[in-house]
A and B are shown apart, each in its own frame.
Chain A
């Protein structure tokens, strides 16, 4: 794993992608609603008072994770596809394998390194969101009601589960297609278009899609974040909606994580490295 961590942390794309996610999330979850509040304007149907309430410390978990089901997931999937697919494009997989490690050892190292980096990014997202919320609360003389440690742990675990699932999906696509461009393209189309079309267009019209959307990774990711936000939360972020329950969503995501990892391992072990 240490070798994979070196590769991942020294790669410029890692810092770009994982720097974008918390940054963009901060902008859309906190900055834009707060600016709207300060201007006395409503934002996505919420009055100014509700906007302020939505960016205070007690909404830390929701605000730190709200981007992950959709745009954050797209960035993490891209990283996973780069991690796995580049090994084929650069010819580095054969260079690694002739040094002696088993193929599953390489995969395990890559997955673990990815999860470690994603865990760090989730923590950074929480810290940045907490800092921004603190600054806002201090400036507005609002209440500093922080989430409980249990809520924070659950939030961190959920964030890692969602990010890990998207990253594993990216690794699966990169391995399956032995490259980077097509896996990234297909993954982005899936996250940003297909799942949205199923949820917003097909499901309201056809019962098959209405039932089937519960099997989609993005729907479960959004449902998990919605569950953590609580029943009173205003869910403004695209991709965050309580379509299935939180527990079901967590198990589904764990299943996807295992499935993508297993499929990636199967392909890696069975196929020739050319």
Chain B
């Protein structure tokens, strides 16, 4: 069951506006009767770190392959850096589904081969190796690298051309905690330098910390896209009060009945921390005993699991509202942005 979440509500289906780094419109990829990606429409803004989330088999990697020209869409459109996807590879750096290098060549020689293909000066090789902290093993054969080193070399290859857009598919895979921290800092630094980053990840905590906006896909379809804050919502207040029925009435009258519910004998109110004092005063003035009041903030993981849970049979998952309609979030009507 997918909650109504206030997210970006485009007035119409995304189209190339000239100021987006990536736009997909109805992007679809079918393998036989199976739709790996089904009508995906999303937008990535220049300079942002965009998170691409979804369970295994959701279509994330297939989408990234289409954006980088490795896979042809069955239907729909994708524009990358102002050109049809696949035509603009020059401005893109990518690490798709794990690093792939020649095991008999050293890390440095692998990058040399790629630099020749990319037309990149060889001095850039040392720079990217230093960026991913691989200089001390650069001259060892790639076949001797650990998983983390291979992953870092993959990121180095993605940065080789000083791209405008970096597409990273699970970049922290195999990295130790220090490496993950370094990767997080690198992503932020890239964005600060004006680079757009599209990041596919299962590490929701990392996405929550790094990404400006995210898109959640499941079964090949876009579930929602928006800022992390939009997705997790304001959170809720959990209030223990007696008599409970009176507390429901008072709170509902204050904020609206649709935002109030009773769960396990406690009052759940869809509201932020700024409303706690107001609710508490109202309850006390109504001679209702407040025995507990705390805020619960939903994590991105909770939202993600809730959104990508089992699909109801026969229903299409929501892909964002039709233009002009408002949505309800936790019982409160939210106008389109």
Total number of A residues with any Cβ neighbor in B under 8 Å: 23
Report yes or no: B70 in contact with A100, Cβ–Cβ below 8 A. no
Cα distance, A101 to B117, chains bound together (Å): 6
Interface status of A10 (Cβ within 8 A of chain B)? yes
B174 contacts chain A at the CB level, 8 A cutoff: no
Contact between B100 and A98, CB atoms less than 8 A apart? no
Contact in complex: B89, A90 (CB < 8 Å): no
* Chain A: minimal CB distance from B98 (Å): 7
Residues on B with beta carbons closer than 8 Å to the beta carbon of A6: 109, 112-113, 116
Tell me the nearest residue of chain B to A96, going by C-beta: B117
A90 to B98, CA, bound (A): 10
Indicate whether A2 reaches chain B with its CB closer than 8 angstroms: yes
Compute how far the CA of A6 lies from the CA of B109 in the bound complex, rounded to whole angstroms: 9
User: Which of B70, B98, B103, B113 has a CB less than 8 Å from the CB of A98?
Assistant: B70
A92 is an interface residue with CB less than 8 A from chain B? yes
* Residues of chain B lying within 8 A (CB to CB) of residue A272: 65, 70-72
Q: How far is the CB of B69 from chain A (nearest CB, A)?
A: 7
CB distance from B321 to the nearest CB of A (A): 33
Interface check B175, CB cutoff 8 A: no
Chain A 1-28, CB-CB to B under 8 Å as 1, else 0, gives: 0110011001110000000000000000
Does B35 make an interface contact (CB < 8 A)?
Answer: no
| A94: Cβ under 8 A from any B Cβ | yes
Please name all residues of chain A whose beta carbon is closer than 8 Å to the beta carbon of B70 when the two chains form the complex.
94, 97-98, 272-274
Instruction: Determine if A7 and B102 form an interchain contact, defined as CB atoms under 8 angstroms apart.
Output: yes
Q: What does the 1/0 interface line of B87-107 toward A look like (CB < 8 Å)?
A: 001101110111111111100
Cβ–Cβ < 8 Å partners of B201 in chain A: none
Task: Say yes or no: is A91 at the interface (Cβ < 8 Å to chain B).
Answer: yes
Q: Is B155 an interface residue (CB 8 A)?
A: no
A273–B117 touching, CB < 8 Å: no
Contacts A95-B157, A274-B65; A2 near B104 (Cβ below 8 A): no
- The smallest C-beta distance from B208 to any residue of chain A, in angstroms, reads 28
Task: Tell me if A3 and B104 are in contact (CB < 8 A).
Answer: no
Q: Which size bracket describes the interface of B in this complex?
A: 20 to 34
Complex contacts, A94 vs chain B, CB 8 Å: 65, 70, 96-97, 100
**CA–CA, A228 and B92, complex, Å:** 52
- The one of B69, B100, B116 in contact with A92, judged by C-beta atoms closer than 8 angstroms, is B100
Q: Which residues of B contact A207 (CB under 8 A)?
A: none
Interface residues of B in 29-86 (CB under 8 A from A): 65, 68-72
CB-based contact A3/B94 at 8 Å:
no
Residue contact A273 to B104, C-beta cutoff 8 Å: no
Residue of A2, A100, A273, A274 ringed by the most chain B CB atoms within 10 A = A100
| B158 proximity list for chain A (CB < 8 A) | 98
Q: Kindly list chain A residues whose C-beta atoms are within 8 Å of the C-beta of B89.
A: 97-100
Q: Does B284 contact A (CB under 8 A)?
A: no
Contact in complex: B71, A98 (CB < 8 Å): no
B310 CB contacts on chain A under 8 angstroms: none
Asked whether B69 lies within 8 Å of A97 as measured between CB atoms, the reply is: yes
Measured in the bound complex, the distance between the Cα atoms of B100 and A98 in whole Å is 12
* Cα distance, A3 to B104, chains bound together (Å): 14
A12, A92, A98 pick with most chain B CB within 10 angstroms: A98
Beta-carbon contact of B102 and A92 below 8 Å? yes
Q: How far is the CA of A106 from the CA of B69 in the complex (A)?
A: 15
Nearest CB in chain B to that of A90: its residue: B100
Scoring B residues 123 to 141 as 1 if CB is less than 8 Å from chain A, else 0, what string do you get? 0000000000000000000
Known contacts A272-B70, A272-B71, A273-B65; decide if A96 and B114 are in contact (CB<8 Å): yes
Considering only residues 123-170 of chain B, those with a C-beta below 8 Å from chain A are 154, 157-158, 160-161
B118 within 8 A of A: yes
Q: Which of B71, B96, B100, B101 is the most central at the interface, judged by chain A CB atoms within 10 Å of its CB?
A: B100
Bound complex: CA of A7 vs CA of B117, how far in Å? 12
> Is B119 among interface residues, defined by CB-CB distance under 8 A?
yes
A contact residues around B94 at 8 Å (CB): 98
Considering only CB atoms, which chain A residue lies closest to B114 in the complex? A99
**B93 pairs with A7, CB closer than 8 A:** no
Residue of A nearest to B157 (CB): A95
Q: Specify which chain B residues have a CB less than 8 angstroms from the CB of A106 in the assembled complex.
A: 117
Give residues of chain A (73-109) contacting chain B, Cβ–Cβ below 8 Å.
Answer: 90-101, 106
Residues on A with beta carbons closer than 8 Å to the beta carbon of B102: 7, 11, 90, 92
Q: Which residue of chain B has the shortest Cβ distance to A105 in the bound complex?
A: B117
Contact residues of A between 90 and 144, Cβ < 8 Å to B: 90-101, 106
Chain B residues positioned under 8 Å from A101 (CB to CB): 117-118
Chain B residues within 8 Å of A2, by CB: 116
Judge whether A7 and B113 touch: CB under 8 Å: yes
For chain B residues 239-255, which have a beta carbon within 8 Å of chain A? none
Nearest 9 pairs between A and B by C-beta? A91-B100, A3-B116, A99-B118, A272-B71, A273-B70, A98-B94, A95-B100, A99-B117, A92-B100
27 cross-chain CB contacts under 8 A: A3-B113, A3-B116, A6-B116, A7-B113, A10-B104, A12-B104, A90-B100, A90-B102, A91-B98, A91-B99, A92-B101, A93-B100, A94-B96, A94-B100, A96-B114, A96-B117, A97-B68, A98-B68, A98-B92, A99-B89, A99-B157, A99-B161, A100-B117, A100-B118, A101-B117, A272-B70, A274-B70
Spell out B's residues near A (CB within 8 Å). 65, 68-72, 89-90, 92-94, 96-105, 109, 112-114, 116-119, 154, 157-158, 160-161
7 new A-B contacts at CB < 8 Å, known A90-B101, A93-B100, A273-B65: A6-B112, A7-B102, A95-B99, A95-B100, A98-B92, A99-B114, A274-B70
